[in-house]
Amino acid sequence: MGCCKCCCVVLVVAVLIVAGSMGLFTAFFPYPSHASCQVDWVFGKDCNTVKNRLIHQMKLWSSDQCSAKQQCRYEYLGEEGDTIRGLHTTPIMSYVDKLNFTLTDGSGDTCQVKAFSESTASYAVIDFGVNYCNLRNLVIGSRLDENDAKYKENSTNAVCTMYSIAHCNLYTE
Ligand SMILES: *[C@@H]1O[C@H](CO)[C@@H](O)[C@H](O)[C@H]1NC(C)=O
Ligand SMILES: *[C@@H]1O[C@H](CO)[C@@H](O)[C@H](O)[C@H]1NC(C)=O
């Protein structure tokens, strides 16, 4: 085999390997490139009620006593316009995640909420659903999801790390 032909074969194989692994990468890694989560919620309540319950829950779970799974180490940072902010530190690894909820009054007595949680560790990619659960636990802990016919939650793996496989387990253990 001539040198040129050999180089050609190597190049084609290399291109195939790179293309193949990129395909595999998106197939097996459908999540954001940095551990984070965006979730949208709709509640059949006015935004003041929703806001007060979320703030109350963060304060209630601000303790360092982490015996009850992740229901601890939240920190309420305050509100600014329609946005409330907080932090959550994961009990074991002590990663700090930033949270925010932006609340907008919707039609028919609803409150539309855009919630974000993002790891402050720049290298964090996989979070085992922690960013999602940071947000979701506040919603279920404050019982905002109960007895509400207009309640809706939506997100996808593309904007929320491990959304489809996260188990927040708040009341199951
Ligand atoms: C909420 O947090 C996300 C992710 O950290 C950020 O992109 C967004 O700008 C924040 N929203 C507000 C209103 O601060
Ligand atoms: C929720 O659904 C709406 C409407 O389909 C969409 O625009 C929005 O991006 C979704 N939110 C998330 C976090 O996926």
Question: For a pocket test of ligand 2, which of 116, 154, 157 has the largest count of ligand atoms closer than 8 A to its C-beta?
Answer: 154
Distance (Å) of CA 146 to CA 11, 45, 47, 100, 149: 58, 12, 16, 22, 9
CATH topology of domain 31-165: TATA-Binding Protein (3.30.310)
How buried is residue 57: exposed, middle or buried, by Cβ count under 10 Å (0-12/13-18/19+)? buried
Torsion sign over Cα 139, 29, 96, 112: negative
Three-state secondary-structure class, residue 11: helix
Residue nearest to atom 14 of ligand 2 (CA): 155
Ligand 1 atom nearest 118 alpha carbon = 5
| Choice among 21-30, 37-46, 134-143 with the minimum mean pLDDT | 21-30
Ligand 2 atom nearest 160 alpha carbon = 13
Q: How far is the CA of 8 from the centre of ligand 2 (A)?
A: 46
Residues 6+ apart with CB under 8 A from 150: 42, 43, 44, 108, 109, 110
Average pLDDT value for the chain: 84
| Choice among 62-66, 123-127, 131-135, 146-150 with the minimum mean pLDDT | 123-127
Ligand 2 atom nearest 156 alpha carbon = 14
Q: Is 133 in the pocket of ligand 2 (CB under 6 A)?
A: no
Q: At 28, which amino acid appears?
A: F
- pLDDT top residue among 13 and 116: 116
Q: Is 159 in the pocket of ligand 2 (CB under 6 A)?
A: yes
Q: How confident is the model at residue 84, as a pLDDT?
A: 98
Q: Is 36 in the pocket of ligand 2 (CB under 6 A)?
A: no
- pLDDT top residue among 125 and 42: 42
Ligand nearest to the CA of 99: 1
Domains of the chain, residue spans: 1-30, 31-165
Q: At 52, which amino acid appears?
A: N
pTM: 0.82
